[in-house]
Amino acid sequence: MPVESLFPRLEPLLPTVSKPIQYVGGELNSQVKDWDETDVRWALMYPDAYEVGLPNQGVMILYEVLNEQPRTLAERTYSVWPDMAAKMREAGVPQFTVDGHRPVKDFDVLGISFSTELGYTNMIEALDLAGIPLHARDRDESHPIVLAGGHAAFNPEPIADFLDAAVLGDGEQAVLEMTAVIRQAKLDGADREETLLRLARAGGVYVPRFYDVDYLPDGRIARVVPNRPDVPFRVHKRTVMDLDEWPYPKQPLVPLAETVHERMSVEIFRGCTRGCRFCQAGMITRPVRERSLTGIGEMVKTGLEATGYEEVGLLSLSSADHSEIGEVAKGLADRYEGTQTSLSLPSTRVDAFNIDLAQELSRNGRRSGLTFAPEGGSERLRKVINKMVSKQDLVDTVTAAYSAGWRQVKLYFMVGLPTETDEDVLEIAEMARDVIRAGRQATGTRDVRCTVSIGGFVPKPHTPFQWASQLDHETTDRRLKLLRNAINDDRSTAKAIGYRYHDGKPGIVEGLLSRGDRRIGAVIEQVWRDGGRFDGWSEHFSYERWMEAATKVGVDVSWYTTREREESEVLPWDHLDSGLDKEWLWSDWQDALAEQDLDDCRWIPCFDCGVCPQMGTDIQIGPTGKTLLPLTVVKNPLSV
């Protein structure tokens, strides 16, 4: 039966809420397919506001991949602001998609992409607004399968009670295979339990209900084991090896309302082997897979024609690490010379940056500020985190940038890293002062600026720091104050240095959710019942609400955050395989404590982290003669 649009009931609410345009849909390149012409229907959710969720590449890619299939339909839904949620409850309007304004409850799958754990309360709010039971155990055949993906899904245990399933890793192939399983299950008349079992058997899909968790008397996990014989003991991540076979999005969405990113983006490679020990994204997305020059050029051409954007972002975890980034930048700059099309690298490492590259990127557009991430203030701490960039490297790079005409530099650091001391943090101020002095000397003017941006360290699963204790928020805030005073104490440079930071409290909540187990689900639900929404937004976040909720349900927050784990401890995510060998991660954790750095394995013999042997990849030689793991060999220059 056709599903009617909710828009006639929704439209009267729009004049009464803030930013109503985010709920109307109709964006350029969006799709509304015929419900009755399809047999598997996905509602794809990014659990944040439209302005944050629409530019998300993951959702945009899956939206297009699914809608290319003739018998499959995909629509998008985002978190609604509290004012709209209140109006919807009053009017009896359920959670809806922005494409066809169809009720989320009527879809076969509600797929939620989590970039951060702070979106968990928004997921519960969406389930409640949709009329879907919060707990998976209470759902029946009339409800969609609630599926989690994204980086935060590599430890879905804190939200296991609310999920029917989770998928680890890349989604392009996975969603098509899951669609085929669901379609066949519907044809066979399979019930909900059987459908989930088929997904679990297919591989790469984790169904929490099929696994039991046993605890030791001291609260640690004794084991996580399947409760039926026909599901795997460990669930493995999915990895797309050839990015050129998946040139998505081909038709990027162009929002009607203002969003956090106003550009067309192309992912130029996936994965990272730099080995920064704090970086979950770099660890879980291994191995490195590059998109070819030809593939990048075609995606840029197609995307610009489809959108009309005038800026192209070349995305990856560290875009300047593409083995032919110089050729990429020059080829695109040549192709679009004389147009209004500008290029940007949102992510750049100090030791991968050079002025020639920067000049190519800015040839056709405005010269914006440069951002670098030394992460740790002292040389010693950078060895601990394996971020091997010296202060002199940074000063030399910034001096070259200032000399070439740049006037603004942003430096990103973290506070609360393992083994950190007050002295390590204070060296951030000295580094910023050295940058300003070098810039003034290089330019002969005082017209240079440096912004120091500070984030709090949160230990993440599947990283060498997954065993580390997390710094308490009181000490984090004390060190932030020390740093601010140190920056302001030198009057000769203080006005040239900006200082931005977040206090330590949100990091404690993120740490609780990041390394939590199934017992944390009660905290999340209690926070939501107490009014928690949009916890990633400072104006909505309440540390006190989280701490009170934890107390109500009997959870000791410090046990999950500031406690260091032992090597033998069973971690909540040990049954979920990111490809990384746990013994290798522990060894790297010990190297961190010994202040021993580790080289990038793309250019030297393998360290046997576990990813590449599992993936069956071979060492290949790239066009520059460097060893790559693995690489799509490139052939044609973009300017042709």
Residue 327's CATH number: 3.30.750.210
Question: How confident is the model at residue 48, as a pLDDT?
Answer: 98
- Cα 168–Cα 171–Cα 174 angle in degrees, nearest 5: 85
Model pLDDT for residues 281-340, shown as the tens digit of each residue: 999 999 999 999 999 999 999 999 999 998 899 999 888 889 999 999 999 999 998 888
Is 159's pLDDT higher than 50? yes
Q: Dihedral of the CA atoms 490, 492, 495, 498 (nearest 10)?
A: -50
β-sheet bridge partners, residue 620 = 628
169 & 86 share domain: yes
Residues 6+ apart with CB under 8 A from 312: 263, 264, 265, 266, 300, 303, 304, 332, 341, 342, 343, 344
pLDDT, mean over the chain: 91
53 & 99 share domain: yes
Model pLDDT for residues 225-239, shown as the tens digit of each residue: 999 999 999 999 999
267 & 229 share domain: no
* Domain tally, the chain: 2
162 & 15 share domain: yes
State which of 217, 236, 255 marks the end of a domain. Answer: 236
* Residue 612 belongs to some domain of the structure: yes
Model pLDDT for residues 430-461, shown as the tens digit of each residue: 999 999 999 999 999 999 999 999 999 999 99
Q: 463 and 277 in contact (C-beta within 8 Å)?
A: yes
- In angstroms, how far is the first alpha carbon of the chain from the final one? 51
Is 361's pLDDT higher than 80? no
CATH, residue 100: 3.40.50.280
Question: How confident is the model at residue 349, as a pLDDT?
Answer: 74
Question: How confident is the model at residue 588, as a pLDDT?
Answer: 96
Model pLDDT for residues 6-22, shown as the tens digit of each residue: 999 999 999 999 999 99
Kindly indicate the confidence band of residue 366, based on its pLDDT and cuts at 50, 70 and 90: low
164 & 290 share domain: no
Q: How many CB atoms lie within 10 A of CB 324?
A: 21
172 & 35 share domain: yes
- The kind and range of the H/E element at 383 are helix 379-385
What are the phi and psi torsion angles at 526 (to 5°)?
-65, -40
* Residue 608 belongs to some domain of the structure: yes
SS3 32: coil
Model pLDDT for residues 245-298, shown as the tens digit of each residue: 999 999 999 998 889 888 899 999 999 988 999 999 999 999 999 999 999 999
Model pLDDT for residues 84-120, shown as the tens digit of each residue: 999 999 999 999 999 999 999 999 999 999 999 999 9
Q: Dihedral of the CA atoms 616, 618, 623, 626 (nearest 10)?
A: 120
Mean of the pLDDT values across residues 552-568? 97
* Residue 335 belongs to some domain of the structure: yes
232 & 268 share domain: no
Model pLDDT for residues 538-555, shown as the tens digit of each residue: 999 999 999 999 999 999
35 & 122 share domain: yes
Domain that holds residue 622: 263-367+599-640
198 & 77 share domain: yes
Question: How confident is the model at residue 434, as a pLDDT?
Answer: 94
Question: How confident is the model at residue 365, as a pLDDT?
Answer: 63
The fraction of the chain above a pLDDT of 90, given in percent, is: 79
Paired tokens of 21 = 């345009």
Helix extents (H) in 106-235: 120-130, 172-188, 192-202
Question: How confident is the model at residue 367, as a pLDDT?
Answer: 65
DSSP label at residue 406: -
Kindly indicate the confidence band of residue 347, based on its pLDDT and cuts at 50, 70 and 90: low
Mean of the pLDDT values across residues 584-612? 86
Model pLDDT for residues 48-82, shown as the tens digit of each residue: 999 999 999 999 999 999 999 999 999 999 999 99
* Residue 103 belongs to some domain of the structure: yes
Q: 572 and 516 in contact (C-beta within 8 Å)?
A: yes
* Residue 161 belongs to some domain of the structure: yes
Helix extents (H) in 444-533: 473-489, 491-494, 505-514, 521-529
* Residue 479 belongs to some domain of the structure: no
* Residue 610 belongs to some domain of the structure: yes
* Residue 231 belongs to some domain of the structure: yes
157 & 117 share domain: yes
Q: 409 and 449 in contact (C-beta within 8 Å)?
A: yes
Question: How confident is the model at residue 520, as a pLDDT?
Answer: 98
Is 619's pLDDT higher than 60? no
Cα distance between residue 418 and residue 138, in whole Å? 42
Closest to 425 in 3D by CA, of 497, 480, 489, 485: 480
220 & 339 share domain: no
232 & 267 share domain: no
Q: 433 and 497 in contact (C-beta within 8 Å)?
A: yes
Between 398 and 564, residue with greater pLDDT: 564
Cα distance between residue 269 and residue 123, in whole Å? 30
Is 614's pLDDT higher than 90? no
Is 183's pLDDT higher than 80? yes
Question: How confident is the model at residue 261, as a pLDDT?
Answer: 82
Is 637's pLDDT higher than 60? no
Is 404's pLDDT higher than 90? no
Kindly indicate the confidence band of residue 613, based on its pLDDT and cuts at 50, 70 and 90: low
Question: How confident is the model at residue 622, as a pLDDT?
Answer: 34
